[in-house]
């Protein structure tokens, strides 16, 4: 199953490598990754998308929670959330196709952020699906380059993922533990 995991960390070198190590050590690929400081410049927020066995991912989440520089961890996959990604696409747009490209961009509520005689750079935000659909529609015009930021996510409603204890708590980190305790599957070692 696909998981979006957000991790608040001390904004220091080496933290990202240790987090990535928890995934690579189990042969998990990180499909997208986004890192930036929060309103508190000493705290960074890492959002990553990965997919794999749910039980192993719960184990990874618990191990994330053990890393000294990790402040909080949240897996968005089972809670109500919004997610967005931003993409820049450099697409061929000459005098003949310009209008058509523009109408696709408008349908996706995108913006043209750079124009040259034979290309546009356009910007679109949305879910991974929306961005996938957008890229698909532009493909016939000739895509020259694509860059995506990776997914970011936030809880819907009032819960927040925040470093300070006095802000509203993230929903139900304990629930997961209970679930795992009941369901722990029984892999055999050889």
Partner 1 sequence: MTSLPEAKRAERHPLAGTTMTGADMIVQVLADEGVNTVFGYSGGAILPTYDAIFRYNAAHTKDEEMRLVVPATEQGAGFMAAGYARASGKVGVFVVTSGPGATNCVTPIRDCHADSVPVVLICGQVPRAAMGTDAFQEAPVFNIMSACAKHVFLVTDETKIEATMRSAFELARSGRPGPVVVDVPRDVQLSQGLFQGVGQLQLRGYDERQRALNHAALPDGTAKDFFRLLGDSERPLIYAGGGVINGEAASELRAFAQRFNVPVVTTLLGIGAMDTTSELSLHMLGMHGTAYANYAVEDCDFLFAVGSRFDDRVAGKVKEFAPGAKIAHLDVDASEIGKVKGVDWAYVVDAKRGLAQLTRAGKGFRKDFSRWVKHVHDLKSQHPLNFNRESPLVQSEEVLAVLNEITKGDAIVSTGVGQHQMWAAQYLDFRSPRTFLTSGSMGTMGFGLPAAIGAQLANPGKLVIDVDGDGSIRMNLGELETLTTYDIPVKVLLLNNYGDGMVRQWQDLFYANRYSGSDKTLHKKDFVRAAEADGFGFVRRVTTRDELRGALEEFVKYDGPAFLEVITDQNAHVYPMIGPGMGYKDMITGKYITPRTEKDVAVDKNAGF
Site of interaction with partner 1 (CB under 8 A): 8-10, 13-14, 17-18, 21, 25, 42-43, 59, 62-63, 65-72, 163, 165, 177, 180-190
Could you tell me if 127 and 85 are in contact, meaning their C-beta atoms sit under 8 angstroms apart? yes
**Phi, psi dihedral angles at 105 (to 5 degrees):** -60, -40
The DSSP line for 40-89 is STTEEEEEEEEES-HHHHHHHHHHHTTSTTEEEEEEGGGS-EEEEEEEEE
Find the shortest distance in angstroms from Cβ 18 to partner 1: 5
Work out the widest C-alpha separation in the chain, in whole angstroms. Answer: 66
Q: Is 29 helix (H, G, I), strand (E, B) or coil?
A: coil
Return the number of the residue (65 or 77) whose C-beta is nearest partner 1. 65
Find the shortest distance in angstroms from Cβ 188 to partner 1: 5
Find the shortest distance in angstroms from Cβ 156 to partner 1: 24
Return the number of the residue (55 or 109) whose C-beta is nearest partner 1. 55
Separation CA 161–CA 170 (nearest Å): 5
Return the number of the residue (62 or 130) whose C-beta is nearest partner 1. 62
Identify which of 12, 72, 14, 78 has the alpha carbon closest to the alpha carbon of residue 47. 72
Return the number of the residue (14 or 99) whose C-beta is nearest partner 1. 14
Find the shortest distance in angstroms from Cβ 181 to partner 1: 5
Return the number of the residue (69 or 125) whose C-beta is nearest partner 1. 69
Torsion of CA 16, 22, 28, 31, to 10 degrees: -20
Find the shortest distance in angstroms from Cβ 82 to partner 1: 25
């Amino acid at each position: 199953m696909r998981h979006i995991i957000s991790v608040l960390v001390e904004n220091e070198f080496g933290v990202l490598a240790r987090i990535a190590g928890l995934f690579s050590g189990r042969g998990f690929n990180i499909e997208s990754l986004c890192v930036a400081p929060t309103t508190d410049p000493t705290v960074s927020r890492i959002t990553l998308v990965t997919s794999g066995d749910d039980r192993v991912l719960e184990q990874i989440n618990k191990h994330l929670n053990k890393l000294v520089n990790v402040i909080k961890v949240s897996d968005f996959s089972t809670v109500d959330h919004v997610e967005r990604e931003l993409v820049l696409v450099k697409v061929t747009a000459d005098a003949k196709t310009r209008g058509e490209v523009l109408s696709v961009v408008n349908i996706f509520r995108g913006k043209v952020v750079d124009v040259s005689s034979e290309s546009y750079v356009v910007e679109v935000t949305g879910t991974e699906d929306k961005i996938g659909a957008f890229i698909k529609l532009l493909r016939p015009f000739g895509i020259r380059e694509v860059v995506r930021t990776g997914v970011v996510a936030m809880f819907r409603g009032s819960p927040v993922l925040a470093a300070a204890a006095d802000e509203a708590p993230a929903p139900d980190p304990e629930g997961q533990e209970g679930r795992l305790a009941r369901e722990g599957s029984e892999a055999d070692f050889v």
